[in-house]
């Protein structure tokens, strides 16, 4: 069953990769990034349970904390930039830097 | 049972990326994270599963809901690059091939490892710090987001 878990984790990672590379909308980019991170967490959890590699679980917690920080700060930055540019696509967000 | 769970996760992942309405997309995303959390619980990683459900379905989904209140409920149509599907599929095939080539080494690790008893009790302090970090970051993001969304009071009116 470890093989099944890993194949599904790879599939989730690939879907996330497709989302990151094809979509330009901010929220979809975020969903895709979270999918990439969750694929890694799935791999770690599966290897801890199926192979008995207990060191994977603290690593999974650490990855989850980093994902949360990234989401909280990223959405905040987006909200702040969106307020001035009125755009949801990061490529179109051009702001003037006032010195 | 596991295959049904994981297939549903993949279907919800595709739905959250392909839906035109951002609320549908967010609900699919939240359900996907919920299913992954339940799957971790079935894998006997109860704390990780609960962590997943609280953090993703609870915290990050609500933060993204704040984001949706800013941008509106429909996504702008964008032209997807046809090569990206091929690249993602190629990546999947490459990862799967690499995994099956090196699978025997992973099983060799399994024979040497002894499962430690009381791992959770020994790492309880670290877990509390992690929970505090996650809670603080989500709280900070939510409060700042409310500040950003809130319209400024006009003194001249």
**Segment of A22-26, A32-36, A75-79, B66-70 carrying the highest mean pLDDT:** A32-36
Residue from A20, A55, A54 nearest A37 by CA: A20
pLDDT band at A15 (very low <50, low <70, confident <90, very high): very high
- Residue of chain B minimizing CA distance to A78: B67
ipTM of the shown complex: 0.85
Strand segments (E) across chain B: none
Residue A11 above 90 pLDDT?
A: yes
pTM greater than 0.90: no
Query: How do the domains of chain A map onto residue ranges?
Result: 2-72
Contact A4 B2 (CB under 8 A): yes
Cα–Cα distance list, B91 to A11, A16, B17, B32, B116 (Å): 9, 11, 18, 22, 35
Distance CA B1, CA A10 (A): 19
A49 φ, ψ (degrees, to nearest 5): -80, -45
Residue B47 β-bridge partners? none
CA distance A3 to chain B (A): 8
Sign of the dihedral defined by the CA atoms of residues B111, B115, B116, B117, in that order: negative
Contact B88 A72 (CB under 8 A): no
Q: Answer whether A12 sits within 8 Å of B9, measured CB to CB.
A: yes
Write out chain B residues lying below 8 Å of A5, CB-based. 2, 6
Partner residue facing A48 (CB), from B25, B45, B76? B45
**Closest chain A C-alpha to B61 CA, distance in angstroms:** 10
Is A77 within 8 Å of chain B by CB?
no
Mean of all residue pLDDT scores within chain A: 81
Q: Say if A43 is an interface residue toward chain B (CB within 8 Å).
A: no
CA gap B64, B142 in Å, rounded: 10
Q: Distance between CA B55 and CA B66 in Å, rounded?
A: 16
Per-residue pLDDT tens digits of chain B, which is 157 residues long: 778 888 999 999 999 888 888 888 889 999 999 999 999 998 888 888 888 888 888 888 888 887 787 777 666 666 767 788 888 888 899 888 888 888 777 765 555 555 555 666 666 777 777 777 777 777 777 777 666 666 655 555 5
């Amino acid at each position: 069953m470890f093989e099944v878990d890993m194949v599904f984790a790879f599939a989730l990672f690939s879907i996330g990769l497709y989302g990151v590379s094809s979509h330009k909308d901010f929220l979809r980019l975020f969903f895709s990034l979270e999918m990439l991170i969750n694929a890694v967490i799935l791999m770690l959890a599966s290897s801890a349970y199926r192979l008995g590699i207990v060191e994977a679980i603290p690593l999974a917690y650490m990855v989850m904390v980093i994902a949360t920080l990234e989401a909280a700060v990223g959405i905040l930055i987006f909200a702040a930039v969106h307020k001035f540019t009125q755009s949801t696509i990061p490529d179109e967000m051009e702001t003037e830097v006032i010195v | 049972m596991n295959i049904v769970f994981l297939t549903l996760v993949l279907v919800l992942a595709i739905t959250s990326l392909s839906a035109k309405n951002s609320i549908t997309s967010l609900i699919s995303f939240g359900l996907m994270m919920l299913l992954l959390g339940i799957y971790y619980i079935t894998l006997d990683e109860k704390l990780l599963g609960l962590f997943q459900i609280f953090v993703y379905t609870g915290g990050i989904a609500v933060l993204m809901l704040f984001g949706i209140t800013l941008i509106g409920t429909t996504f702008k149509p964008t032209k997807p690059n046809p090569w990206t599907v091929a690249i993602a599929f190629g990546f999947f095939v490459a990862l799967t091939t690499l995994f099956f080539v090196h699978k025997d080494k992973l099983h060799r690790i399994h024979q040497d490892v002894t499962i430690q008893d009381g791992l959770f009790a020994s790492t309880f302090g670290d877990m509390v710090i992690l929970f505090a970090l996650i809670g603080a970051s989500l709280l900070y993001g939510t409060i700042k987001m409310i500040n950003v969304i809130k319209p400024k009071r006009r003194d001249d009116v």
